[in-house]
Amino acid sequence: MLVSSLVLSSLGACYVNPMKFFQSLGGSGCGTSGPASCQNADTPPAASSCCFESPGGLIMQTQVWDTDVAGSPEDSWTIHGLWPDNCDGTYIEDCDPSRDYKNIAELLESQGASSTLEFMQQYWLNNHGTNEKFWEHEWATHGTCYSTLDVDCLPSDSPTGAEAVAFFETVVKVFKTLPTYDWLAQAGITPSYSQTYSLSSLLSALEAASGGYTPALTCSRSHKLSSISWYFNLKGSVIDGEFVPINAPTQSSCPSSGIQYVPKEG
């Protein structure tokens, strides 16, 4: 499964079923009983990298609070990406230009992921250009760097681009377990032109709602909330593995007080 029922329970979310697409292909065959990524990172398990995410085992799910994007939901943060950083915080990008797929929307529809596409059209928006260009960039720049999504790791009868379909379905499903807006609202923290918040109050609210995990918040130079990053390690494959939440290894960039969480205007 993409995120185990135990982990999702700790995050206050419901169980997520495995993606139907790869169910029909037999899944990754990895299971989730092995070590999590970034554990024994210097000496990975004997199993191939198809079942142990390496070197990018520090997985960051980043959301943004864009206030001037037309159509952006007023009551939700939106997706930036799901990035496989190395376990030391460094990262690699653009790992396989031969798989820089174009027309992501058509790819998703043709492989039975129309519901994922519909969600992306609402919650994965580009603030400078088309959504399609944003999706293409996220796949080419970050998605191609997942070792467990290498084409050699897929079932032999997988259609071209199946690993990208798995990537986008996984990003969406992980995002759905992290309702940042709702978790802040539960603590009385909502967008306002006049109210400001302390970093400690924001992090405390998010830690309480997520089961004790600390994200990293980013603010603009004018002290406005702009993005949040949640961190995971992974057991098994991105296709059907278990995302294990961890505390952010980096500090938030926001000031200790006077943080603005302004309403969306798009």
Give the residue among 181, 63, 205 at the shortest CA–CA distance from 197. Answer: 205
Q: Burial, 74: exposed, middle or buried (Cβ in 10 Å; 0-12, 13-18, 19+)?
A: exposed
The answer to whether residue 93 is catalytic is: no
C-beta of residue 14 within 8 angstroms of C-beta of residue 255: no
Query: 109, 128, 136, 138: which one is catalytic?
Result: 138
Q: Burial, 168: exposed, middle or buried (Cβ in 10 Å; 0-12, 13-18, 19+)?
A: buried
Give the residue among 57, 73, 54, 56 at the shortest CA–CA distance from 65. Answer: 73
**Residue 32 vs residues 41, 56, 86, 239: alpha-carbon distances, Å:** 17, 17, 20, 11
Identify the bridge partners of residue 60 per DSSP, sorted by sequence position. Answer: 83, 231
C-beta of residue 174 within 8 angstroms of C-beta of residue 180: no
DSSP 138: H
Query: 142, 163, 169, 242: which one is catalytic?
Result: 142
The answer to whether residue 137 is catalytic is: no
What are the tokens at 58? Answer: 């520090």
Distance CA 150, CA 158 (A): 12
**Residue 93 vs residues 90, 151, 207: alpha-carbon distances, Å:** 10, 17, 30
Query: 53, 80, 163, 242: which one is catalytic?
Result: 80
Return the active site residues: 80, 138, 142
